[in-house]
Structure 1
Amino acid sequence: MPTGIIESLDHEARGITRLDGKTIFVEGALPGEQVEYVCLRKKRTYEVARTERILKSSPSRVTPKCPHFGVCGGCSMQHLDPSAQVAAKQRVLESNLWHLGRIKAEQLYSPIYGAPWAYRQRARLSVRVLPKKGGVLIGFHERKSSYVADMRQCDILPPHVSALLMPLRELISSLSISKAMPQIEVAAGERITALVLRILEPLSAADENLLRAFADRHRVVLYLQAGGPATAYRFYPAEGPKLSYCLPDYDIEHFFSPTEFTQVNFAINHVLVRRALALLDPQPGERVADMFCGLGNFTLPIARSGAHVVGVEGSAELVRRAAENASANGLAGQADYRVANLFEVTPEMLTALGHFDKVLIDPPREGAVELVNSIGEGGPRRIVYVSCSPSTLARDAAILVGQKGYRLKGAGVVNMFPNTSHVESIALFERS
């Protein structure tokens, strides 16, 4: 059986070793370890393998807290000490910037990180009725599989949400449409916890009574969703507090629907917004753009600074929600919103939005290549880029530095998803 010494981790938290010039990605191995491994898949230039035996263990290896680790696909790094996880993600960011973008940040920012457990305020759980496996399963998918993990607890969810997993199994098994409810979306806010039940068939009157009793017993708000996200509606209780999250530093409360995008980790989001605003440094009288603004996570703090901010987003529904939040927080006069597809933006479209002194960019995984390509000579003097993909950040950074005359002043990781390999980051670009 082959052995190898692990050099580093890749973007999926697999250990990397080399044999006869070929890169071997070893699942379950950590940097500095010597392991025996078994090959799972061979390609011409690389192999994917699984750790069979650890001959020399890393001092950063820890016992995974979750009994489902290794089967459930929700986490991939629970066997690595939380502080070492952050360091590994910083190396992934630096590696992507250099190997894909051929650039280095002038400064590495201190990482943003927090509690590694009970952080996930948002989750999408799959539901399967499998009599041979004990009835109803609710949870994340198993690793690299469409099967649903047999989860009885989840330590990355808030405790009160984790405690709902088994009662939800009982509830769904008692419904007449148990086989027509494939998904439950969870959203925990400041005042309420909402569960969105995806239903493919109508509920019976008895089903509705069971749902109401469950909501009362567990103090949750139930939504029903028969089609796409726009079809979700509040079922029970029909009235009461709404979903929201707060940014206390800016005296802002964001209201949102359980199917609308918000950051999953509210505590880290507080620090991320604070870091982004410090780097952007919006001033009264400046005109600032918030690209891919969503429901206004960064827009309203920018507006609170006294700058005039224009939020741009492709979803008309999110723009409507963002405008409502601006009004609710007394910032309607400081924030404007535009609906625009930023994946198809042109220099002419960007020019039509007017001059911006500074810009914040917070794109999805695809990045913002069309947007950065559209920046002209009169572009903003400062750009703060919040990224959820180090590879697309590196690609876009190469354009900003190599073609648009910006300097990469600094970059650092944001551990929004502890115990997973997901790398978020923040970067500052400035023109001289």
Structure 2
Amino acid sequence: MPTGIIESLDHEARGITRCDGKTVFVEGALPGETVDYATYRRKPSYDLARTLRVLEPSPDRVTPLCPHFGVCGGCSMQHLDPVAQVAAKQRLLEDNLRHLGRIAAEQLYAPIYGQPWGYRYRARLSVRLVVKKGGVLVGFHEKRSSYVADMRQCEILPPHLSAMLLPLRELIGKMSIRDRLPQIEVAVGERVTALVLRILESPSATDEDLLRDFADRHGVVFYLQPQGPATAWRFYPLDGPRLSYLLPDFAVEHFFSPTEFTQVNHAINRVLVRRALALLDPRPGDRVGDMFCGLGNFTLPIARSGARVLGVEGSAELVRLAAENAAANGLEDRAEYRVANLFTATPETLAALGHFDKMLIDPPREGALELVKSLGADGPQRIVYISCSPATLARDAAILVTQKNYRLRGTGVVNMFPNTSHVESIALFERTSNQVSNNENTTLS
């Protein structure tokens, strides 16, 4: 049984130690700890292991709140104090900028974080009929497994959803299609909770009665999804409020359907939008580009500032819905949208969108490589970049700083997913001259 001293955490919140010159990633171990561990997978350059016993615990180690921690794969950091989680994510962001991008920010922003529990307003729950475990299971997958965890509660879901896990198991166990219903997608709005049942077979009349009774008793709306996300339709009740979330600082309400992407953490999203707008500083007379705009999470607040904004998104359906949201909020005169594949952007396709004084970039994990490479000499004076991957942010930031004459003014983490290893961040870039003064310290040799 090997023993190791943990040096740091990797991007999946595993402890890092060394054994005979080889890196070992140890699940459940924290920096500064001495642990006994067992290796479960060996690779030529590294090993994967799990903690067996903590000999010298970190002062930041806490007792996980969830009884399923260690089995369920939904969270990996519940054993680390929430404030220490944020600090670890900030270090990971800085390390990626330093080692992958060879740059450093001029300023580190105060991290954005909030309540560590009950925050997940979007979730995709797996469903399995497992006779050996007494019937239907509803929950996240087990760690390193395709099996569904035997969950009776979930501390990161809102309390009313956590309390619904066992009733959902009972409901589906009574249905004729219990083995033909592999997934439930959950979306919580301001006034309604939607449950989207992925069905491989149409429910019977008795099944439909069971769903209606459950919806009435638990105050939810059921959608049925026979194929892809676009096929989801509202089953019951047919009337009532739509899904939406509010950005009260900007008097904006976003309407959405349960299969469309929205931020999972509504409280943190409000703070994130507020900071993004403060850094971007859109003003009347500015023309702003909102790249990878989705439903307009940032587009409409930018428009509310008085600036003119063009939201660009690859999905025609999202652009249609974003335009509807602009009209619903009375902002259609200042917010327009266009369909474009930003992953294949070129200087010519970007120029065709017109000049932008400022730009907000909010890409998926793949980042915005072709977009930032396509920025020309008349590019926006200021760019706010929202990232869900420190590695692709570092890559894109290096291009902006070393090739496009921007300064990385500041960056900081956004703890959108507490108790998980997911790192979201925000960065501000400002265009500078070709000559950067020696004290700006934005590139590392």
User: What range is the shorter-chain TM-score in?
Assistant: over 0.9
| Inter-partner Cα distance in structure 2 for 1:153 and 1:185 | 16
Report whether the alignment pairs 1:365 with 2:370: no
Equivalence for 1:35 = 35
**1:29 & 1:179 partners in 2: Cα distance?**
38
SS at the partner of 1:160? helix
1:40 is matched by which residue type in structure 2?
Y
SS in 2 for 1:194: strand
Quote how far apart the aligned CAs of 1:45 are: 2.0
In 2, distance between residues paired with 1:296 and 1:378?
25
3-state SS of 1:151 partner: coil
**Amino acid of the structure 2 residue aligned with 1:271:** V
CA distance in 2, matches of 1:390, 1:87: 14
Shift in Å, 1:380: 0.5
What SS does the aligned partner of 2:344 have?
Answer: coil
Match of 1:318 in 2: 318
The match for 2:146 is 146
Q: Is 1:233–2:233 an aligned residue pair? A: yes
Structure-2 residue corresponding to 1:341: 341
After superposition, what is the alpha-carbon deviation per residue over 1:217-251, rounded to whole angstroms, capped at 9, x for unaligned?
Answer: 10000100001000001110001100000000000
Distance in 1 (alpha carbons) for counterparts of 2:155 and 2:50: 25
How far apart, in 1, do the equivalents of 2:184 and 2:44 lie?
Answer: 41
The 2-side partners of 1:191 and 1:120 are apart by: 16
TM-score by length of 2: 0.96
Local SS of the residue matching 1:38 = strand
The residue number in structure 1 matching 2:328 is 328
Query: What does residue 74 of structure 1 align with?
Result: 74
Q: In the aligned structure 1, how far is the partner of 2:49 from the partner of 2:72? A: 18
Task: Report the AA paired with residue 218 of structure 2.
Answer: H
CA distance, structure 2, for counterparts of residue 169 and residue 20 of structure 1: 48
1:375-399: CA deviation from partner (whole Å, max 9, x where unpaired): 1111001100000000010111111
RMSD in angstroms over aligned alpha carbons? 0.7
* Displacement after TM superposition at 1:269 (Å): 0.1
Q: Secondary structure at the match of 1:79?
A: coil
Residue 123 of structure 2 corresponds to 123
Using the size of structure 1 for normalisation, the TM-score is 0.99
Amino acid at match of 2:33: E
1:66 alignment partner, SS class: coil
- Give CA-to-partner distance per residue, 1:186-219, whole Å, 9 cap, x none: 0000000000001110111111111111100100
Q: How does 1:4-19 map to 2 (within 5 A)?
A: 4-19=4-19
Q: 1:264-279 alignment to 2 at 5 Å?
A: 264-279=264-279
Rounded Cα–Cα distance in structure 2 between residues aligned with 1:402 and 1:358? 19
Q: Name the residue aligned to 1:308.
A: 308
The 5 A counterparts of 1:280-429 are 280-429=280-429
2:114 is matched with: 114
Q: Secondary structure at the match of 1:180?
A: coil
Displacement, 1:23? 1.4
Distance 2:206 2:35 in 1: 56
Moved more, 296-305 or 198-207: 198-207
SS, match of residue 393 in structure 2: helix
Q: How far is the alpha carbon of 1:366 from its aligned partner? A: 0.5
1:51 matched to which residue of 2?
Answer: 51
| Structure 2: tracts of 5 or more residues without a match | 433-445
Q: Which amino acid aligns with 2:100?
A: L
Distance 1:176 1:274 in 2: 48
Q: For residue 19 of structure 1, report the CA deviation from its aligned partner.
A: 2.6
Question: Deviations for 1:346-381, whole angstroms, at most 9, x for unmatched residues?
Answer: 110000000000000000000000111111111001
CA displacement at 1:44 relative to structure 2? 2.5
Q: Which moved more, 1:305-314 or 1:10-19?
A: 10-19
- The one-letter code matched in structure 2 to 1:316 is A
CA distance in 1, matches of 2:106, 2:19: 34
| CA offsets 1:157-180 (integer angstroms, 9 cap, x no match) | 000011110111111011111111
Q: Which runs of 5+ in 1 are unaligned?
A: none
Residue 262 of structure 2 corresponds to which residue in structure 1?
A: 262
**Cα distance between partner residues in 2 of 1:153 and 1:388:** 27
Q: 1: CA distance between counterparts of 2:195 and 2:39?
A: 41
Alpha-carbon deviations, 1:10-50, whole Å to 9, x = none? 00000011233321111110011011112222222221111
Q: Distance in 1 between matches of 2:91 and 2:397?
A: 17
| Matches of 1:45 and 1:131, distance apart in 2 | 41
2:86: which partner in 1? 86
Q: Provide Cα deviations, 1:51-99, integer angstroms capped at 9, x if missing partner.
A: 1211100010000000000000000000000000000000110011111
In the aligned structure 2, how far is the partner of 1:329 from the partner of 1:106? Answer: 37
Matched residue SS, 1:178: coil
Taking the aligned partners of 1:202 and 1:277, their CA distance within structure 2 comes to 46
Cα distance in 1 between the residues matched to 2:192 and 2:21: 55
Q: 1:107: how far off?
A: 0.4
Q: Distance in 2 between matches of 1:283 and 1:37?
A: 56
Q: Write the distance in 1 (CA, Å) between the matches of 2:47 and 2:108.
A: 32
1:60 counterpart residue number? 60
1:420 CA displacement = 0.2
SS of corresponding position for 2:210 = helix
Q: Deviations over 1:260-292 (max 9, x none)?
A: 000000000000000100000001000000000
Partner residue, 1:133: 133
Task: Give aligned pairs, total.
Answer: 432
Distance (Å, rounded) in 1 between the aligned partners of 2:397 and 2:188:
34
